[in-house]
Structure 1
Amino acid sequence: MNEKNTLLPRQLGDTHIRLLRIYKVVIESGGFAASEIELNISRPAISAAISELESLLKMKLCHRGRSGFAITDQGEKVYQSTLQLLGNLENFRSEMNAINTDLVGELNIGITDNLVTNEQQRLTRSLSTLKLRAPEVVINIRMISPNAIEAAVLDGQLHFGVVPELRSLSGLTYSSLYQERSQLYCSEEHPLFDKNNEAISDSTLCEYDAVIPNYPQPIKIKHQQKKLKSTATSTDREGLAFLILTGRFLGFLPVHFAQQWVAQNRLCSIDSHNRYFDTHFFTITRKGARENLILEAYLEELEKTL
């Protein structure tokens, strides 16, 4: 048999699937450096995985170096085939769940950071009732960025996600979950501490350093952020809290998340009647996905929390 027809073993194992998943993330992230956070592995490990896949397939999948990252023509075809393979795997899982009416299998969920302290926490209650209803179901939660959640739901890695209102992708179904209010905070060591009932001008705020998010946000929220003197950024809201608690930075935090430090008199909201914004959160599922009894059962439990 021609060698070209025997590049891969007759049976693909977990190792091969892992390499293809890494390759998919690298391509969608636009390079090794950008994929480190989502994959949670080092750049050398990512490079080694891609090299191993190229060796296995005996083809160059992408160019990397000083000139930048670029996918080859063969690499593009491998990427498209990878999407098809991973989608077929998820379809198989869904079909098996549909056949098995005892609700045995996995529920894979993606959530953005620091939602657990929200008083409107419908996710916890619905997962609790699902576990009572289907004790054999294995629940897997990934804490990742909204963009990564959308991508993972679209390609079938996740069954369900929770994301803030940013955009509407045609391949996803969005359902309103709840709103979250954020206010401007400083710590007890900051000069503006205890100014929550006083109106503060934009010019006064610009005298102080502030930390802002470097993840995507709606225009109306960015408008509030632009009023601050940005000298620091964070990829998530826990990072914002770290810097605000230093006493050197102002920054917006969700009220429910900040409350633990407000109760300890370590944080104080600033000009709370004017310096705030609301974030609308949605659940997302993939349109046209195969029937999945576990997901349907969970969505039923989530609906009951209303």
Structure 2
Amino acid sequence: MLRIYKVVVECGGFSAAEVELNISRAAISIAMSDLESRLGFRLCQRGRSGFSLTEEGQEIYNYTLQLLSSIEDFRTQVNTLHTQLKGELNIGITDNLVTLPEMKITNALAQLKQLGPEVIINIRMIPPNEVELGVLDNRLHIGIVPTIRALSGLNYHSLYLEHSQLYCSDSHPLFNRPDDQIELQEWDAVVPSYAQTAVIKAQLQQLNGTATATDREGVAFLIMTGQYIGYLPDHLAQQWVAAGRMRAISPDQYQYDTQFSAITRKEARPNQVLETYLERLISG
């Protein structure tokens, strides 16, 4: 019931939790009522006015996170007693890294599965800030994120240097125009709404940003409309460039690099599965 309650809180209500949990709203309502009866107080307000937590409900949510984290720690410690690799690897990854040619993440996952056939791998594709939070509160064992800032509670292990360029699609007026005849401010551009380094922000400020996207796939969607220009990683854009559907604009001038790192929580308990994966990820 606490696990259901956690999902309800994080989804902001019963309706969204119904999809996440794959159970009916009636079943969720029964579980919540049963939990409130056992605890002896109301956890949340629900009705036409919307969903909101009571003060006690907020505290129970915080305690639930602590409890589930402790259970995961217990499971991890038990798994270290096995001579064979057993347990789970919960990994959070920033979107659209699968097309990187180095394939470090994929290769390390393959090696982990070969070494521990019983290991359960759970991947979450979420924004970088959610990956950081997930690792910090022990919901994730490891994350792959762009290195924007160093958080004190995390260890950083460098993995990739990703190169990005400014692109337009073949249906955009700039596709056949010479680079030396292009004034960027005259054209609508899509810019990312997620955090960036100061160097990258300076590049983005040269654009006439009239649209935003929360991830690189969203940027690609808008570029392919033929109405926007925008920055994409070379490895992601390559499929459209090779097909003649997209081209880079002044590639020597409009480009930047992004460092990607694997992050783990400092002072985390020993975890044989995580240590095995991280070793192969870094060495790969």
Shorter-chain TM-score: what band? Answer: 0.7 to 0.9
Measured after TM superposition, the shift of residue 51 of structure 1 is: 9.3
In structure 2, what is the Cα distance between the partners aligned to 1:209 and 1:242?
Answer: 14
Structure 1 position 211, deviation (Å): 1.1
Equivalent residue number for residue 16 of structure 1: 2
For 2:100, which of 118, 136, 141 is the aligned residue?
Answer: 118
Matched, 1:88 2:70: yes
Letter in 2 for 1:117: T
Summarize the alignment of residues 99-248 of structure 1 with structure 2, pairs less than 5 Å apart: 99-194=81-176, 198-199=179-180, 204-248=183-227
Once residues 65 and 221 of structure 1 are traced to their aligned partners in structure 2, the CA distance between those partners, rounded to angstroms, is 45
Aligned to 1:114, the other structure's residue is in SS state coil
Report the CA distance between 1:108 and its aligned residue.
1.2
The alpha-carbon deviation at position 220 of structure 1 amounts to 2.0
Q: How does 1:221-300 map to 2 (within 5 A)?
A: 221-300=200-279
Query: RMSD between aligned alpha carbons?
Result: 3.0
Residues 1:66 and 1:211: Cα distance change in structure 2 (over 3 Å): farther
Structure 1, gaps ≥5 residues long:
1-14
Structure 2 distance, partners of 1:168, 1:64, is: 39
Q: Following TM superposition, by how much is the alpha carbon of 1:155 offset from its aligned partner in structure 2, in angstroms?
A: 1.9
Residues 21 and 89 of structure 1: CA distance in aligned 2, closer, same or farther (over 3 Å):
farther
Q: Matched residues in 2 for 1:303 and 1:102: separation? A: 22
* Equivalent residue letter for 1:253: L
Q: Is the Cα contact below 8 Å between 2:159 and 2:282 reproduced in 1? A: no
AA of the residue aligned to 2:189: A
1:66-102 residue CA offsets vs partner (Å, 9 max, x unmatched)? 9998754323321331121011111112112111121
Equivalent residues of 1:209, 1:249 under 8 A apart: yes
The TM-score normalised by the length of structure 1 is 0.80
State the identity as a percent: 49
Cα separation, 1, equivalents of 2:48 and 2:263: 38
Cα pair distance change 1:98/1:61, threshold 3 Å = same
2:123 is paired with a residue whose SS is strand
- 1:213–1:62 distance in 2 versus 1, CA, 3 Å: farther
- Structure 1 pair 268–168 and aligned structure 2 pair: CA distance change class (3 A): same
Distance 1:92 1:295 in 2: 15
Amino acid at match of 2:233: P
TM-score by length of 2: 0.86
Equivalent position SS for 2:179? coil
Deviation at 1:41, TM superposition (A): 4.5
- 1:183, 1:255 within 8 Å by CA — same for their partners in 2? yes
Residue 167 of structure 2 aligns to a residue whose secondary structure is: strand
CA distance in 2, matches of 1:192, 1:16: 55
Once residues 62 and 19 of structure 1 are traced to their aligned partners in structure 2, the CA distance between those partners, rounded to angstroms, is: 10
